[in-house]
A and B are shown apart, each in its own frame.
Chain A
Amino acid sequence: MTRAAKVGWSRIALIVGSVVLLEVLCRTKIINPLTMIPPSTMAVKLYEILASGQMTDDIIQTFSTVAIAFVFSVIVGLGIGALVHALPRVRRAIDPLLASYYSIPFFVFYPLLIALFGLNTIPLIAIGVVFATAAMVISTLNGLDRVPRVLVKTAKIYRMSPLSTVMLLTLPSAAPYLFTGLKLALAYAFIGIIAGEFILSGGGLGFSIAYAYQNFDNDTMYALMMFVLVVVTLMNAILHMWEQRLLKRRARA
């Protein structure tokens, strides 16, 4: 077995072990059943919820909101990152702000956004974008900083236009950092939007979890939490695998 395979298997073993342990602790009532239900019960309940279709609208709402916020953040983040990179003065002004960006509790502005746009998906998209864009900007700047100057000279040797220089040299060169930006932007968009739904909204997964919680519907609450966890983990795993495939060739043998 290769080293990577061993690591992979031990990771899976750790997850399975934790789930089994939780199951045992719940079944033996060491964990109070009113506090937490066994994972197997969560899974069964989740299956019922998904099969009944009662949650389909909420699921679609949350994922489409996340998708919109993600795509928007990536495009805007790339644009702002490239612009700021090209303007060193703006860069010097903005750098400290970016460094402390995530210490700002943006959720205090959420009620303001609702007051401005109404109780619909726009405030949610906005909060997702506010969360995710900065990560993309930071990653873009990081990537562009590390594009070797000699690549720009090489572009001049081949007499490439600014556009083809960016598309064929700058972006591929910065790709590992941009990928980090993509992963962070997706994670932040999810966090922002689920949390926003949780606090105040008319639908979505976050809203449904909060709703179940307020109605002491532990089974539904835990089932939905499990759903969110599994989906986010899967998405991350797919992005991670894609990233590894891209990076493998660039790693030192």
Chain B
Amino acid sequence: MMRDGASGSAPVMTGQDRGAHAVLRGVTRVYPGAMAVHALGPIDLDIGHGEFLAVVGPSGCGKSTLLDVLAGLNPPTEGTITFEDKPVHGTVPDGVGVVFQEDASFPWLTVHDNVAFGLRRAGVDATEIERRVTYAIGFMGLKDFTKAYPAQLSGGMRQRVCIARTLVMQPRLILLDEPFGALDQQTRLLMGDELLRLWRETNATVMLITHALDEAAMLSDRVGVMSARPGCFIDVLTTGWPRDRDSRIVADSAFGTLTGKLWSLLRGESLKAIGSREGLTQSAGA
């Protein structure tokens, strides 16, 4: 594996720099049933080792479906997925961590026990669990809430518990599904910084699903833009940011250009998504 340059000018990471970490080829997903829904694909995508990939797309275009299939939570209907050169098909490979769109914290466990859950399952020894849990809780700024229950926390803090819970497992591929969806803009920018810090410290590969164009533009090495359902990649833009970036990048003129480009790609697709929904409400009303 390549060593990061020690100098201040960090190299730009793209999918090609260190070879592919996860590869999707011709991946589709159709939800079976009487009214089968073709939710995704076909998708062809390489996610590079240590890359930060953002995925944007109109709501309902299949972003969460893409995450489920890539994580091995659901098998693809067609196509193949490989993670670290091994096929993924309906079971979650070792080394993959997921932060879901919904609040997945366990309300009956304290913050500490929530974060320790996966390590206990994996049979890690107690001192190592304590070490990692303490680190993750500190990293996510939850030190004062170790003994609190999720119900006593705000939505954003609960999401941080879920991120800490994923982080302790030391995943090599972290998939996040609109993790900051419920937060206000300022908090989202700051959480974005946390995420960048996590990405740099762990050297993990990150795929972040988001509906916020600025979030995608600010955080990632590359932004994949998806079409309306069935979601396919229309384009994948390279941001060219340095590795040690943070949210102050939003003041950069290149940031504005990039966000503008994302929007011009997405506008038509978002209109389609809204249009199809209006069509639905009309036929439901009739």
Contact = CB atoms under 8 A, between A and B. Distances in A.
Among B91, B98, B108, B151, chain A packs the most CB atoms within 10 A around the CB of B108
Contacts of A250: 107-108, 149, 151
Given A159-B92, A172-B108, A150 B102 contact: yes
Nearest to B107: A250
A162 interface: no
Given A154-B100, A251-B151, A253-B152, A169 B92 contact: no
Interface in B161-193: none
Interface in A108-161: 148-151, 153-154, 156-160
Interface residues of A, number: 21
B233 interface: no
B117 interface: yes
Contact of A249 (B68, B103, B149): B149
A252 B104 CA distance: 16
* A interface secondary structure, majority: helix
A157 B98 contact: yes
Contact of A172 (B73, B96, B106): B106
Given A153-B73, A253-B152, A175 B100 contact: no
Contacts of A149: 102
Contacts of B118: 157-158
Nearest to B101: A150
B117 A158 contact: yes
Interface in A222-253: 249-253
A201 interface: no
A247 B102 CA distance: 22
Among B71, B103, B117, B121, chain A packs the most CB atoms within 10 A around the CB of B121
Contacts of A156: 72-73, 91-92
Nearest to B121: A158
Interface of B: 68, 71-73, 91-92, 96-98, 100, 102-104, 106-108, 117-118, 121-122, 149, 151-152
Contacts of A61: none
A218 interface: no
A180 interface: no
A153 B149 contact: no
List the 8 closest A-B pairs by CB distance, nearest first.
Answer: A249-B149, A150-B102, A253-B152, A172-B108, A150-B104, A250-B107, A158-B121, A150-B100
A151 B103 CA distance: 9
Nearest to B153: A253
19 contacts: A148-B102, A148-B103, A150-B100, A150-B102, A153-B68, A153-B100, A154-B100, A156-B72, A156-B91, A157-B98, A158-B117, A158-B122, A173-B106, A173-B108, A249-B108, A249-B151, A250-B107, A250-B149, A252-B152
A148 B104 contact: yes
A157 B106 contact: no
B108 A154 contact: no
A175 B152 CA distance: 19
A157 B108 contact: no
Given A153-B73, A153-B100, A169 B151 contact: no
